[in-house]
Copies of this chain bind each other. A is one copy, B any other.
């Protein structure tokens, strides 16, 4: 019987090497795989390229990963927020690179990687500084920009319900980039609040089919980034 359940977040991230490209699910605090990110901090892999919509908040999760000096480069759409202090500090000190990608292009590039589409054209950024240096082309009288797929070695994702085959569902807007990242990474590692038996998820309701998932870790009562920040916590 296939069983992708992995006993701990520590074991799940143990093979992530220095220099890896890692996608982190979540949009701001919603859907952020805090326990997996903290395990990655404990693990200590360095020179990471991290793909996430944002750059973390407070001093937990992604912000803590950056604050621990493990991230060489961020690929994201919105590296600013009222509670984001670590990234701006690193960025202004020249200690971290930033590759800014519009949110829809970021999502589509990740989806393209999962779907075997090496490149596609999009109207987004045409006529702006973010299109500079990019190949442009007209279709049906309108100009579009060529964008490449965006792959990663690892994706760390949080879901709501999973079965041992790696079929996943999400909670509300915590879904966001996670299903796309599951498709786009060589190794997809998922933390799940509710682990059910096979057949415990209606096949009609599966959002991420198990084929896109490699490791499932049961984290029954995950902390929420917003809660940690409200409590003024920092990690480690």
A residues lining the B interface (CB < 8 Å): 108, 112, 115-123, 139-140, 142, 144, 148, 169-170, 172, 203-205
Contacts and interface: CB of A to CB of B under 8 A. Distances in A.
Contacts of A117: 108, 120-122
A117 B108 CA distance: 10
A210 B119 CA distance: 29
A204 B170 CA distance: 8
A142 B123 CA distance: 25
Contact of A121 (B119, B142, B144, B170): B119
A63 to B, nearest CB: 29
A148 B119 CA distance: 12
A186 B169 CA distance: 31
Contacts of A205: 204-205
Nearest to A120: B120
Nearest to A149: B139
Given A108-B115, A115-B108, A148-B139, A204 B169 contact: yes
What copy number does this chain have within its complex? 2
Nearest to A112: B120
A170 B148 CA distance: 33
A144 to B, nearest CB: 6
Nearest to A160: B204
A113 to B, nearest CB: 11
26 contacts: A108-B115, A108-B117, A112-B120, A116-B122, A116-B123, A117-B120, A117-B121, A117-B122, A118-B121, A118-B139, A118-B140, A118-B142, A118-B144, A119-B120, A119-B121, A119-B139, A119-B144, A120-B120, A120-B121, A139-B148, A169-B204, A170-B204, A172-B203, A172-B204, A204-B205, A205-B205
A160 to B, nearest CB: 9
Closest 5 CB pairs of A and B: A118-B139, A120-B120, A119-B121, A117-B120, A205-B205
A140 B113 CA distance: 13
Given A108-B117, A112-B120, A118-B121, 7 more contacts: A116-B122, A116-B123, A117-B122, A118-B139, A119-B121, A139-B148, A172-B204
A134 to B, nearest CB: 15
